[in-house]
Amino acid sequence: MKTLNFRNIRNIALAGVLSLSAASCDHSLDIEPKYDVVSANVYRDFANYKSILAKMYAGYAVTGQQGPAGRPDISGIDEGFSNYLRQYWQAQELSTDEAIIAWNDGTLRDLHDMDWTPANEFLRALYNRIFYQVSLTNEFIRETQDAQLSERGITGANLEEARRYRAEARFLRALSYWHALDLYGNVPFVTEQDRVGSFFPEQTTRADLFSYVESELLAIESELGEPGFEYGRADKAAAWTLLAKLYLNAEVYTGQGRYADAVTYSRRVIDSGRYQLEAEYGNLFLADNHTSSEIIFPITFDGLRTTTWGGMTYLVHAPVGGNMNAAAFGINGGWGGLRTTKNIVELFPSTNATPDERAMFHTDGQNLEIADIFTFTDGYPITKFKNVNRAGQAGSDPSGNHPDTDFPMFRLADVYLMYAEAVLRGGGGSAADALDYVNQLRRRAYTDATGNVRGNGGAISQGQLTLDFIINERARELKWEGHRRTDLIRFNRFTSATYVWPWKGAVPEGRGVEEFRRLYPIPSTDLTANPNLTQNPGYTR
């Protein structure tokens, strides 16, 4: 079992200290428990600070104060469905060629059909989770200003640690605001500077929110811990990685390319020397992946202490079904939901004499073609995430429900690919280094468990390293890790009729959809609650 303190979060009742200045005005976002403690009492004792910070990290993983269900942080939807990671993953993956789901819950099918509306409850749950996180972090940042710390007599080493905690909270707020600008664009905006109390937040523009997230990350860079100082916590490398992602997508967000900056911040992560590629690709997605030196920033899980029906519980159980052996995944049974489309399968040619270790498809008893979305055996499940360790032993939860596997939100392989793409897009840097980084990933993919490289090791030449190659390599390396929608938008393949996949646009062969779907709609509930908000173009209220 992993012992990181941040996993022991089930009984932290932070919602009781949360102010009402939430960025979302959706009245269905009811916060539990109801104000049984107050900020002044909680923040008076420095010993409480790390537990409060842990709750902010846990906001991406768990859904309430109890786990796996009961005393939810927000209401208005099934608690397991409301999970931040679960809904973020679905928004990034189910809307693309990488994932399709056999379930017909509510408006879930609309994500892959790409015909969602502002009433979609899953997009609303994600929106509410994002702004719940913003509210948590705003409160912590407000209560840990230097003046408040001085008034409470927090000095010396505790003062320095409190400032680091504050910088981490600012990183987490920047992360959630990045999700908001990437997914929803023009959203309500509130910081710790806004007054405490119920009010209607003003709506910011996507470009202004980009500038804000950038400025926050640059401001806290020197205050965060050194790369790898404590697993599971945001450090300088996490901030550099998020900056690289922000800059790589800047042309989408603002209309102005920032590829040179993407090169700069990718390089900072690489040159830190702290991170190395995991020797065996599959080890990145197992129950002991917290031991990997490749993972820069995870969402952490523990089968006994971080329990939820979303998060990694969902990502390990939902792709298992048909004739698959659940015990091989360290779980008590599969949920028969998630598969991928033939577009992704065909990136791994079956005729290749030296197979790519990253393929990870279960094909036995499955059909490549998806004739029926709701038939689990139509489409290939991806066998990536497992609740077993490198020795094949199941995780710590004896029931087989909740995995120990962490979600690798940021890892070095992604940084290598971002660097290569930014170089190809004219950001400067070294073309030779870009090729080397890509070939390191490919050599790993073509190396067996004993360290022998098969064939040519999958290496490519400089002339083969093109943007078309990069988008495909990102799918091979990073599939099901929550990047695909953002990648397809950046490559102008998300809505276009020139690139389709099964059931894109709700037809079996796939079709192009409206350009406005590059952004999700502001939920109808928040538009009704907040008169300052305007819906994204293309959607009705």
pLDDT per residue over 161-173, tens digit each?
999 999 999 999 9
What are the residues facing 394 on neighbouring strands? 388
Helix (H, G, I), strand (E, B) or coil at 382: strand
Amino acid at 84: Y
Predicted confidence at residue 28, as pLDDT, reads 40
DSSP 411: E
When pLDDT is cut at 50, 70 and 90, the band that residue 448 belongs to is: confident
How far apart (Å, rounded) are the C-alpha atoms in residues 428 and 364? 46
SS3 198: coil
Are 305 and 467 in contact by the 8 Å Cβ rule? The answer is no
- From the CB of residue 179, how many other CB atoms can be counted at a distance below 10 Å? 22
Cα separation, 505 vs 487, whole angstroms? 18
66-73 mean pLDDT: 78
The pLDDT value recorded for residue 8 is 43
Statement: residue 410 has pLDDT above 50: yes
- Average pLDDT on 246-267 reads 98
Predicted confidence band of residue 16 (pLDDT cuts 50, 70, 90): very low
Q: How confident is the model at residue 67 (pLDDT cuts 50, 70, 90)?
A: confident
Query: Parallel, antiparallel, or unpaired for β 407-411 and 295-299?
Result: antiparallel
pLDDT at 432 over 90: yes
Mean pLDDT of the chain: 91
pLDDT digits (tens, 9 = 90+) for 475-493: 999 999 999 999 999 999 9
Instruction: Look up tokens 């705003």; give the residue.
Output: 138
Q: Which two tokens stand for residue 381?
A: 């499940």
- How many CA within 13 A on the CB side of residue 321? 21
The SS3 assignment for 203 reads: strand
Report the alpha-carbon distance of residue 63 to residue 129 in Å, rounded.
9
The tokens describing 295, both together, are: 């993972």
Query: 40-300+409-529, which class in CATH?
Result: mainly alpha
The rounded distance, in Å, linking the Cα atoms of 254 and 292 is: 35
Q: Name the amino acid, one letter, at 534.
A: T
Report d(CA 83, CA 137) in Å as an integer: 17
Q: Which residues pair with 388 in a beta bridge?
A: 394
pLDDT of residue 5: 44
Does the structure show a pLDDT above 90 at 363?
yes
Q: What is the mean pLDDT of residues 350-361?
A: 79
Count the Cβ atoms, other than its own, within 10 Å of residue 531.
9
Nearest-angstrom CA–CA distance, 234 and 176: 13
Q: Which pTM does this prediction carry? A: 0.93
CB atoms closer than 10 angstroms to residue 176:
25
Segment (H or E) for 315: helix 311-317
Only one residue has tokens 């959607």, namely 539
**In 437-500, where do the E strands start and end?**
none
Nearest Cα residue to 73 out of 155, 138, 143, 15: 15
**Positive or negative CA dihedral for 231, 234, 236, 240?**
positive
CA distances from 65 to 34, 79, 397, 454, 462 (A): 12, 11, 19, 49, 52
